[in-house]
C-alpha cells in the first residue's frame, strides 16, 4: 500500500531513542523528509546518522527543549527553513516523574504537565497555521495506556495523559474542516531503555529482581510479551498517511490487549 508520505515533512518530537526513534525511522522508510529532535545532541545525531544510512532519507536533527515555548518555536522555524513547513507532527516526550501521591512534589507535577501536555499544545500551535493554509495535515500524539487505565505508581502520567485525550479530541473537532486529523496512540509496555530503567528502580523498591518484575508485567498482558518499538511506529505512520484520512479524534491502543475496558 502506498501511504502517500513521500516528500512530506514530518516532525517527530523526542526521537533520539525508544518509540520516537522507531517512529522517525518508520517515516524515513516511507521516503518522508524527517525532522528529528531531542535534548541530548550527541544521542540525537547518532540516531539520525544511523537512520539516514539505513534508509537514504533526508533527515534533519535539531536539539530542543520541549518544555520551552521559545525552543519549540525556533525548532519549527529552523525546520521550515531547511526542509519546508511541517505536514505531519508527531507529539512525543519522555515519561513524567514516577511515584505515589505523597512521594510527588509540586515540581514533579509541573514537570509532567509541561513535558507531556504543554509540549503538545505548543508544538501544535506552531505547525497548524501551515496545515490550515494548505488544508491538509496530520497530528499524532503518543501518550500511554495510562490515559485509559491508571497504572500504580504513575500518578502524574495517569492524570496528564488523560488530559491529552481531552485536548486531542477538542482540536480534532476544531481542525477537521481543514482536513487536519488529530489522533492519539496509546502504547502499552514497550521494549525501551526507559522501561528497563523504570523496572530496575521498581524492583529495588519491591525487593524483587528486574526479571521478576518483567514477568509480573507480562502476566498482565494477554499477549504475554512487550511491544517492539516498531510495532508502535507502524500505527503512528498509518495514522499519518493518506489511507487514514477519515480517522480523527481517536485514541487507539497498541497494548497487546492490556487495557481491560471495552
pTM: 0.96
Do strands 88-91 and 137-142 pair parallel, antiparallel, or not at all (unpaired)?
A: parallel
Report d(CA 59, CA 38) in Å as an integer.
14
Within 8 A by CB and 6+ apart from 162, the residues are 146, 147, 148
DSSP state of 242: G
What are the cell numbers at 152?
500504580
141: phi then psi, degrees, rounded to nearest 5: -95, 140
pLDDT band at 235 (very low <50, low <70, confident <90, very high): very high
More confident residue, 95 or 245: 245
Report d(CA 239, CA 205) in Å as an integer.
38
More confident residue, 204 or 179: 179
Fold of 9-190+227-254: Rossmann fold (3.40.50)
pLDDT band at 244 (very low <50, low <70, confident <90, very high): very high
Q: How many C-beta atoms surround the C-beta of residue 252 within 10 A?
A: 15
DSSP state of 114: I
Q: Is the model's pLDDT at 222 over the cut of 90?
A: yes
**Contact in structure between 160 and 95 (CB atoms under 8 Å):** no
**Contact in structure between 115 and 94 (CB atoms under 8 Å):** yes
What are the cell numbers at 148?
485509559
User: Phi/psi zone of residue 135: left (φ > 0), alpha (ψ -120 to 50 degrees), beta?
Assistant: left
- For residue 181, give the H/E element and its range: strand 180-187
Most confident stretch, 23-37, 94-108, 195-209: 23-37
pLDDT, residue 237, reads 98
Q: What is the mean pLDDT of the chain?
A: 96
pLDDT, residue 204, reads 82
Report d(CA 82, CA 93) in Å as an integer.
23
pLDDT, residue 103, reads 93
pLDDT, residue 145, reads 97
pLDDT, residue 218, reads 96
Sequence spans of domains, the chain? 9-190+227-254, 192-226
pLDDT, residue 78, reads 98
Q: Is the model's pLDDT at 205 over the cut of 80?
A: no
pLDDT band at 231 (very low <50, low <70, confident <90, very high): very high
pLDDT, residue 19, reads 98
- The whole-number average pLDDT for the span 60-81 is 98
pLDDT, residue 2, reads 87
Amino acid at each position: 500500500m502506498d501511504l502517500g508520505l513521500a516528500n512530506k515533512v514530518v516532525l517527530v518530537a523526542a526521537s533520539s531513542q525508544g518509540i520516537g526513534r522507531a517512529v522517525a525511522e518508520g517515516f524515513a522508510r516511507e521516503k518522508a523528509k524527517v525532522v528529528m529532535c531531542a535534548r541530548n545532541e550527541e544521542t540525537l545525531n547518532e540516531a539520525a546518522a544511523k537512520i539516514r544510512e539505513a534508509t537514504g532519507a533526508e533527515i534533519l536533527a535539531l536539539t530542543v527543549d520541549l518544555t520551552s515555548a521559545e525552543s519549540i518555536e525556533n525548532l519549527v522555524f529552523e525546520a521550515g527553513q531547511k526542509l519546508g513547513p511541517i505536514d505531519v507532527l508527531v507529539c512525543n516526550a519522555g515519561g513524567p516523574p514516577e511515584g505515589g501521591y505523597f512521594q510527588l512534589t509540586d515540581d514533579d507535577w509541573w514537570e509532567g504537565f509541561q513535558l507531556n501536555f504543554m509540549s503538545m499544545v505548543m508544538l501544535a500551535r506552531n505547525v497548524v497555521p501551515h496545515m490550515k493554509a494548505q488544508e491538509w495535515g496530520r497530528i499524532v500524539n503518543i501518550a500511554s495506556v495510562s490515559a485509559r487505565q491508571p497504572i500504580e505508581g504513575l500518578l502524574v502520567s495517569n492524570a496528564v495523559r488523560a488530559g491529552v485525550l481531552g485536548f486531542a479530541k477538542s482540536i480534532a473537532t476544531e481542525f477537521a474542516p481543514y482536513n487536519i486529523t488529530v489522533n492519539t496512540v496509546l502504547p502499552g509496555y514497550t521494549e525501551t531503555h526507559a522501561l528497563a530503567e523504570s523496572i530496575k528502580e521498581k524492583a529495588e523498591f519491591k525487593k524483587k529482581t528486574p526479571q521478576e518484575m518483567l514477568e509480573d508485567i507480562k502476566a498482565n498482558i494477554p499477549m504475554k510479551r512487550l511491544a517492539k518499538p516498531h510495532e508502535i511506529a507502524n500505527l503512528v505512520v498509518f495514522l499519518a498517511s493518506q489511507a487514514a484520512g477519515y480517522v480523527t479524534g481517536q485514541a487507539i491502543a497498541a497494548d497487546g490487549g492490556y487495557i481491560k475496558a471495552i
